[in-house]
Structure 1
Amino acid sequence: MKIREITSISSGINERRNPQGTIYYLGASDFVGANTLDRLIEPSLMPSPKLEKHFLNKDDVVVLAKGYNGFVAHSILDDSKPMVASSIFMVLRNTINSVLPQYIAWYINLESTQNELRGYSRGTALPAINRTILGDLDVKIPSLSIQKNIVAIDQLKKQESKLTTQLDKLKTIQLELLLKNKIQA
């Protein structure tokens, strides 16, 4: 199925930041990992009635529409803070019941899908995709139970990678301390 048959696609918005704002304005650098927002992000938009329809909801998917590092998709897992996506994103929402939004994000983030999107992207200075390119993307849709398993396995793989990185840092510190003690002895 094409993404446009599975979910609605809209663009993020372009707004002026304000340090007194109370609404979070998501940019590409606000994600520190897959589906993980930087804990230090600060709200930067002033409330207005026009913003409310752009608030991100749990299970929305934001897809980076411009950039050198691919067109990464993130699932919004928490909507306890009022957030809107900046214009660098496209927002997928109102996904049909037979498809998990997290599965769509996983599928978009596959290397083969990223290569396909890069092939269709426009621009030489800054590769970009538009709503049509993303909407025309074919997504293979397995049963809901298989989608749930894929999402769970993907989350476990990401957790493993994070733990491996932490373990490597600890081993480096341990080795440095051990060698430093040898030098000082």
Structure 2
Amino acid sequence: MVVKQLSIIKSGVFAKSQANPNLFYIQASDFDDERNWKKNLKPSLVLNPSLQKHVLNNGDILFVAKGRMFFAVVYKGEYSPAVASGTFLIIKTDHQRLIPEFLAWYLNHPKTIIFLDQLSKGSSMPMISKSVLEEIEITLPTITQQEKITELSALQQKEQQLLTRIQFLHNDYVNELTYKIFQQ
């Protein structure tokens, strides 16, 4: 099965900042290296009829299709209302057959990223086109299996965050200890 059989993909919008904003304009730079939202984002657009049809819904997948690092994030209303910039392809899945978290996991999987890198166009600004993303082959496990895979992946990410924190604290401890020894 290919992605377009399980979802609808549309492009993000191009817009410029406006006075008296009430709409978040999501960009790839709004995420850190671990694909987490950065804090304290501010609205930069004004919601109007032409942007209304582009407002993100919970469960939409934001796929960064332009730049040096392709990745997918499930939008859960963290900043709302919001539209995605033209850097993104927005994927709306058929939730009865494909949960958004599973497709995001699949698109973020290292093997898929390698494959996408091979299909990308452009050298200074690599990009994945909508048509390329639509034709990505995906094996469709049951919803229960999709949920188990995404739960395991979330636990793996949490573990990695904790290990990183432990390493930071350990380094801090050793630095303090060695400095105290040095001062004696």
- TM-score by shorter chain over 0.5: yes
Q: Which runs of 5+ in 1 are unaligned?
A: none
**Which one-letter code corresponds to 1:181 in the other structure?**
K
Q: Give the total of aligned pairs.
A: 184
Distance 2:103 2:93 in 1: 12
**Which one-letter code corresponds to 2:167 in the other structure?**
D
**Which one-letter code corresponds to 2:92 in the other structure?**
R
Hey, what does 1:60 align to over in structure 2?
Answer: 60
Q: TM-score, normalised by structure 2?
A: 0.94
Is the 8 Å Cα contact of residues 93 and 99 (structure 2) preserved in structure 1?
no
Aligned to 2:32, the other structure's residue is in SS state strand
Distance 1:60 1:15 in 2: 20
Is the 8 Å Cα contact of residues 3 and 136 (structure 1) preserved in structure 2?
yes
Aligned to 2:80, the other structure's residue is in SS state coil
Task: Give the deviation of 1:51 after TM superposition.
Answer: 1.3
Task: Give the deviation of 1:136 after TM superposition.
Answer: 0.4
**Which one-letter code corresponds to 2:25 in the other structure?**
Y
Task: Give the deviation of 1:34 after TM superposition.
Answer: 5.2
Hey, what does 2:21 align to over in structure 1?
Answer: 21
Hey, what does 2:6 align to over in structure 1?
Answer: 6
Q: Which runs of 5+ in 2 are unaligned?
A: none
Post-superposition CA distance 1:44-89 (Å, at most 9, x none): 11221211111111110011111112x2011112356111100000
Hey, what does 2:86 align to over in structure 1?
Answer: 87
- In structure 2, relative to structure 1, the CA distance for the partners of 1:33 and 1:151 (3 Å cut) is farther
Is the 8 Å Cα contact of residues 93 and 100 (structure 2) preserved in structure 1?
no
Q: Quote the RMSD (CA, aligned, Å).
A: 1.5
